[in-house]
Copies of this chain bind each other. A is one copy, B any other.
Amino acid sequence: MQTLIDAQKKLLPDLLEIMQKRYQILHHIRLMQPIGRRVLSTNLGISERVLRSEVQFLKEQNLIDISSAGMSVTPEGSELLKNLEDMMKEVSGLKDLERKIKSLLDIKDVIVVAGDSDLSPWVKKEMGRACVACMKERLTSQSIVAVTGGTTLAAVAEMMTPELKQIDILFVPARGGLGEDVKNQANTICARMAEKAMGNYRLLHVPDQLSDEAYQSMIEEPAIKEVLDLIRSSNMVIHGIGDAITMAERRKTASEEIEKIKQRRAVAEAFGYYFNQEGEVVHKVKTMGIQLEDVKKVEHVIAVAGGASKAKAIKAYMKQAHHSVLITDEGAARELIRE
């Protein structure tokens, strides 16, 4: 296939451009459906008129439906997107990025989606979609999936779709409260994801701040203990990666702790752990649930994080996570390579 694409690049570069344009349009429609021409055209940065011509074409090809509510892709269009995804990545150089980053960070697998989530919010959704596809590839029957919080994971949850094959999936939050907004808490996301996947879920109801005694007694609670056991026996973990300072500040972290984090030069954060540039743990939020050493034993670990601003954090975290799959975006990927 590689040779075919290379040959096409030489023999019809002009057509490949058109193809990319149409693919991108279809892609965006799927992402934002139902959507109107105006919004879409400004989003894609092309004039409304040319979008209109293309849209008409896509409609004639039965790849999209057009209604008064806006445009949306047909099953056929969806199928097409799936079939062309790899090739378009190849054409646009994303595959190349993936290969480079995989060898640069020396990790299991890398998926790079187009765009930069710092600049365009929809890129997160795209990462979410990629993550879901990645999950489905790796899930076997009777899986327990542990998820963390964060806006990126929220996007993953939003893009979740029910599994067609009869697979029982149980979603659990990876760790207890880390001090986030309700919307971005692991519990919320866990429930949302399970709902979208038509799977089951268990939650971990633990207050953020706990005295040691209370902590010990909670652990002994049968209801809690059961969930904790499930978490520890999960065979897939999906988590985000954050910039250390940003995360610490977003959470209601005590100022002395923030000081400590800064002093120890933490750059990355993931499921409550803070890492320095070398990938060493310099701080951890005290809460129950999965621990770093547990994660290393989990079969599938998928890290999702994008945006040029997170490149440094990704690099640092990945230094100790060669076992993981990384899902990121073009912005972060290019930044990673540039360094």
State the A residues within 8 Å of B (CB). 1, 3-4, 6-8, 10-13, 15, 18-19, 22-23, 26, 61, 63, 76, 80, 83-84, 87
Contact = CB atoms under 8 A, between A and B. Distances in A.
B61 A7 contact: no
16 contacts: A1-B4, A4-B84, A4-B87, A6-B83, A8-B19, A10-B61, A10-B76, A11-B19, A11-B23, A11-B26, A11-B61, A11-B63, A11-B80, A12-B18, A12-B22, A15-B18
A13 B61 contact: yes
Given A4-B4, A11-B23, 5 more contacts: A3-B83, A10-B61, A10-B80, A11-B22, A11-B61
Contacts of A26: 11
A26 B12 CA distance: 13
> How many copies are assembled?
2
A8 B61 contact: no
A4 B5 CA distance: 10
A2 to B, nearest CB: 10
Nearest to A14: B57
Contacts of A83: 3-4, 6-7
Contacts of A13: 61
A63 B19 contact: no
A272 to B, nearest CB: 43
